[in-house]
């Protein structure tokens, strides 16, 4: 799911309310770029439930070393419906 201007404002406000950008655990950098939302498959009855329920995350990529962080998009207040 592509991010729009409202989503980007929500992301900025969410991080600002929590002290700003996280510190990269690999290179200690603090510059990140957000990617489009991802829907990760869930496990139901011990099997990967492809095409059913997904866990929607916001990937953040460190611009210095490419390390990725994933945040729960729903709890961040992002629109996960298209
Ligand atoms: Zn890094």
Q: Is the pTM of this model over 0.75?
A: yes
Question: Please, what's the largest Cα pairwise distance for the chain?
Answer: 40
Tokens of 40: 């990760």
**pLDDT the model gives residue 6:** 92
pLDDT band at 82 (very low <50, low <70, confident <90, very high): low
Q: Measuring CA to CA, how many Å separate 18 from each of 9, 39, 75? A: 14, 24, 13
CA of 8 to the centre of ligand 1 (A): 21
Instruction: Quote the mean pLDDT of the chain.
Output: 91
CA of 60 to the centre of ligand 1 (A): 11
């Amino acid at each position: 799911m592509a991010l729009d201007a409202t989503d980007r404002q929500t992301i900025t406000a969410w991080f600002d309310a929590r002290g700003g950008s996280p510190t990269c655990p690999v290179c200690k950098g603090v510059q990140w770029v957000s990617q489009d939302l991802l829907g990760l498959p869930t496990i139901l009855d011990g099997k990967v439930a492809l095409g059913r329920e997904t866990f929607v995350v916001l990937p953040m990529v460190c611009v210095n070393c490419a390390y990725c962080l994933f945040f729960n998009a729903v709890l961040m207040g992002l629109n996960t419906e298209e």
